Amino acid sequence: MGKDRQDMAEIDEIDFSDTTIDYRNPIEVDYRDPNIVYFVGNSAMPTNTSVGNLYKIGSVGILLDIRTSLILDANVTLVSQLSISFIKAQMIGRYLNRDVEQIIRDIDRYQGQARNAIVVAFRSIVDRYHKYMEKHGGGE
């Protein structure tokens, strides 16, 4: 078993269910760690909004630890910093392999016109994550 696979096996034995991450405090990340993967999803933004006038296509991006599926950081194409912070808070510290529906319910509390585009982009990330895990031997 290769070192990365051995590390993943060791991590599989750890119970992360009680792990809580404070989304307001940055998580220190080693961007060169091969277990840290960036996923992005895109969606058309509504044209009658400030974000739609600036960007035709919006993106949601997440930085994910694939060993645990923990979302370490997130970003979204929006204009207002408050909107960006709100959407990020719905994702950071949650697990992509088990919290998808809760994240989408929480994003639904964002009552901006780009809400549906954000959900579409996030669902695209979920699809990419599953394909990535299937390809790299970590499928659920």
Domain covering 29-135, topology: Sufe protein. Chain: A (3.90.1010)
Percent of the chain with pLDDT over 90: 68
Tokens of 62: 């997440």
Higher pLDDT, 58 or 12: 58
- Using one digit for the tens of pLDDT, what is the confidence trace for 32-61? 999 999 999 999 999 888 888 888 899 999
Mean pLDDT across 68-82: 94
Residue pair 78/59 in contact (Cβ under 8 Å)? The answer is: no
Q: What is the DSSP string of the chain?
A: --HHHHHHHHHHTS--TT----TTSPPP--TT-TTEEEEEEEEEPPTTSHHHHH-SEEEEEEEEETTTTEEEEEEE--S-HHHHHHHHHHHTTSBTTT-HHHHHHHHTT--STTHHHHHHHHHHHHHHHHHHHHHTT---
d(CA 81, CA 30): 25
Residue with tokens 């790299």: 136
- Using one digit for the tens of pLDDT, what is the confidence trace for 98-126? 999 999 999 999 999 999 999 999 999 99
How does residue 70 score in pLDDT terms, banded at 50, 70 and 90? Answer: very high
Residue 12 has pLDDT above 60, yes or no: no
- Using one digit for the tens of pLDDT, what is the confidence trace for 90-99? 999 999 999 9
